[in-house]
Amino acid sequence: MRHGATAWNEGGRWQGWTDNPLGETGRAQAEALRGELAGQRFDAVCSSDLARARQTAELALPEANLRLDPRLRELNLGHYEGHTLAQMQTHGGYAAWQADPWTRAVPGGESLQDVAHRMRDWLADVQAAFPGGRVVAFSHSIALRTLTRELLGLPLEAQENYPIPYAERVRNGRSVVLECRDGVWKRAEATGS
């Protein structure tokens, strides 16, 4: 589940590990999730430790025993934290990063492969703790799409005027639903993309 919107999301600023709270729109998105998730049972409710994800989880599932985990954080955008895409594109390290964002780290940050490793580590721990269980994780767009790419074997696809090489986008307050059967991951359903 992607967190609700922040002021930076609404202003086109990339936030990575910057710890911004939900904005008014984000709070409304999280409260809408409460209705969508009502009556569903989860064996575990996990969240990134960043405020926007944690607040979304707390508003969407107020009675849940929330497990905070920094491995669910967004891509560390290093020198690009708080920048718009246009500002990122003028940075001297942007072209080098874009040549291979999977293995090359954002200047001062991390690579998509780094995100994949920590998300896979988180998932392995969750699967060990809740075998066959139903788990919801409140996280971030790039982190969720990176894990989805890893589990489903999706290709990297360069996107015009967008620095992350995934064709799919996940809107604020929406989900990517995956399930594992006999060790094989597949997409189950989604409440938006």
Give the residue numbers annotated as catalytic, written as ranges. 3, 74
Could you tell me the two tokens for 41? 């049972």
H helices within the chain, ranges in order? 7-10, 24-37, 51-60, 85-89, 94-99, 112-129, 141-152
Given a contact cutoff of 8 angstroms between Cβ atoms, the answer to whether 145 and 114 are in contact is: no
Helix (H, G, I), strand (E, B) or coil at 45: strand
Helix (H, G, I), strand (E, B) or coil at 161: coil
CB atoms under 10 Å from CB of 54, counted, come to 20
Distances from the Cα of 70 to the Cα of 11, 122, 154, 159, angstroms: 25, 9, 25, 28
Scan for tokens 């905070």, then name that residue.
68
The backbone torsions φ and ψ at residue 147, rounded to the nearest 5 degrees and listed phi first, read -65, -40
**Strands of 44-47's sheet, edge to edge?**
66-68, 44-47, 135-138
